[in-house]
A and B are shown apart, each in its own frame.
Chain A
Amino acid sequence: MNALFQSELRKLIYLRANWLLLLWSGLFAALGTVAPIVVLNSETQGMGMGFSGTSTPEGINAVFANAAGGYLFALIMGILIMTNEFRHGTAVGTFLVTPKRSTVLVAKLIAAALAGLVVQIFSFLIALTSGLIALTFFEPHSPVTGELIWKVFRASALSGIVLGIVGVGLGALVKNQVAAVTGAVIWTLIVEGLVVAFVESIGKYLPAGAITGLVDLDFGSNDFNFSIENYLSPGPAILVLLGYAAIFSLVAMRTTLRRDLD
C-alpha cells in the first residue's frame, strides 16, 4: 500500500499539467480576495450589492470567505488522477502491477485527498496574503481576526480533501477526461451556484452550500439576501461533506473493480 501510494505521488509530481493547475488555482485565489476588496471600496460602495466596505467586519468576512473558494481545482485534480489512467491507457500498467483494483483505488483516493488538500491550502494562503496586501491600500479597515482565518482555513482544508475524493469518483464514473472536467466546471460555476442562491433548501446540502455553512461567516447583508442562518452549522456541514466523500469513494470502487480494460 505504501509503495502504491508512493507511485501515485510520483505520477502527481512528474506531471507538468498538475503544477499548471496549481498555478491557476493560485491566480484564481488571489483574484478571489483582491477583486472584492477593490470593488467594495470603489465609489459605488459594493456596486449596489448591499455589502458594506472593508471597514466593517461583514465586509471583511465577505472578502475572506472567498479564500476557501478554490475547491473546483481540488475537484479537477481528483478527476485528472483517475481519468489520466484511462485517457493514456496507463490503467493497464497500473493494474498489471497491482491487480487488486480496490487497493489501487484506495491509494488513488488517498493521493487525491492529499492533492486536494495541498491545492486548497495553497489557494487559501495565496488568497489570504494577497487579500491582506490589497487591504493595505484601503486603510483603515476592520481587522482580519484569527477566528476568521481559522474558520476559512478549516473549510479550505476539508473541502480540498473531500472534493479531491469526489473527483476520483466522478472520474471513475465518467472515464472521459474532457467530459468529466467540463461537467465539473459547469456544475460548480453555474448550476450549483444557482441552486445555492435560489433554492436554499436544497442548496445548503450541496457541496458549495455545505462549504459555505462550514465557513460559518456572516456577511450580514440585508439587501443581498444572504444570511448564514440559512445554511447548515459547521458540525452538520462537515458530516454532509464527509458523506459526499464516502458516496463518491464507493462510486469509484464500484465502477472500477470489474470493468474490462483495453
Chain B
Amino acid sequence: MAEIKIEFKNLSKQYKDVLAVSNFSAQVVSGRVTGFLGPNGAGKSTALRCLLGLVTPTSGEALINGGSYSDLSEPIKHVGALLDSRGFHPGLTAMQNMKVMASASAIDFSRIPELLKLVDLEHATNKRTKGFSLGMKQRLSLAIAMLGDPEILVLDEPANGLDPIGIVWLREFVKKLAAEGRTILISSHQLAEMQNTVDDVVIINKGELVAEGSISEICKGKTLEEAFLDLTLRRSA
C-alpha cells in the first residue's frame, strides 16, 4: 500500500528579501517516483533543504515519516539525499569520501565498492575527486545517497551533468527503486526526461504550489512540457 512518506505542511522560508517558499503543502507517497518541478528560483532546493534539516523553515514544517529529519536516528539509513552543492572533499578520493560518510553512521565499508560499481565509478575509486567531471561528481553523490540503503531518496537535479547513457541509467535505476516500494522525490528541469520517469508530479512556482497529482492528471493528454509551461506561465502572467 502506498503510504505518505514525505509531507510539506504550509512550509515557508523567508530569506532576507526573498520569500523562497511560500505556504507550500504537498505529499509524496511510497512506491512511486515523484517529480518536483518548477522554474529556476522556484524554491525547489530550498524546500528540499528544509526537508533535510539543513535550513530552518520560517514557518510550517516538512516531515519524513511524520517526523522531522533531525529526529531520525541514523537518518542516512532511512533517507538518501543528493543535493546541488558539492558534498565531498576534493582532496579525498571517492573511496575516502565514502568511508568518511559511512564511518559516521557505522555503515559497513564492504558496501562501498558495490556502490561505486553501481554508479560506474569503479575505475575512479582511488582517484581524488578534485579531478572528477561534473557527471562523475553526480555519480559519486548518488552512490553516497545510496550508502545507507535508504527507503526514501531525495534527489535535487540528479541528472545534471550526466551523459545520455547516464540519464537512461538513472531513469531505470529510480524506477526500479520505486518498484521495490521505496519513495523517490526528484527535482529536475529536464521535462521530456521526467515524463518518462515519474509517476507523480508536484509543480512549484515562486515558492507556491501550482499543481499536484499523477502525471496523467497533470498532463491531460498534453506533454509534460506543455502542461508545465501552461501552469507556470499562466500563473505568473
Contact = CB atoms under 8 A, between A and B. Distances in A.
A joins B in a complex: yes
Interface of A: 3-4, 6-7, 10-11, 14-17, 84, 88-90, 92-100, 258, 260-262
Contacts of B53: 95-96, 99
Contacts of A84: 89
B85 interface: yes
A74 to B, nearest CB: 21
A150 B69 CA distance: 50
B89 A96 contact: no
Given A95-B54, A96-B75, A99-B70, A89 B87 contact: yes
B99 interface: yes
Interface in B88-104: 88-93, 96, 99-101, 103-104
B49 interface: yes
B76 interface: yes
Most chain B CB atoms below 10 A, which of A4, A94, A97: A97
B168 interface: no
B96 A14 contact: yes
Q: Which applies to chain A's interface (DSSP): helix, strand, loop or mixed?
A: helix
A100 B70 CA distance: 6
Given A3-B103, A97-B104, A100-B70, A261 B90 contact: no
B89 A7 contact: no
Most chain A CB atoms below 10 A, which of B49, B54, B88: B54
B104 A90 contact: no
Contacts of A94: 104
Q: Which applies to chain B's interface (DSSP): helix, strand, loop or mixed?
A: loop
Contacts of A97: 75-76, 101, 104-105
Contacts, number: 84
Nearest to A90: B89
B55 interface: yes
The 8 A-B pairs of least Cβ separation, nearest first, read A7-B104, A99-B70, A93-B87, A89-B86, A3-B106, A261-B54, A7-B103, A260-B55
Contacts of B90: 88
Nearest to B13: A260
Nearest to A257: B56
A96 B106 contact: no
A6 B107 CA distance: 12
Contacts of A17: 91
A16 B106 CA distance: 24
A96 B49 CA distance: 10
B81 interface: yes
A240 to B, nearest CB: 34
A119 B224 CA distance: 59
Contacts of B81: 96
B218 interface: no
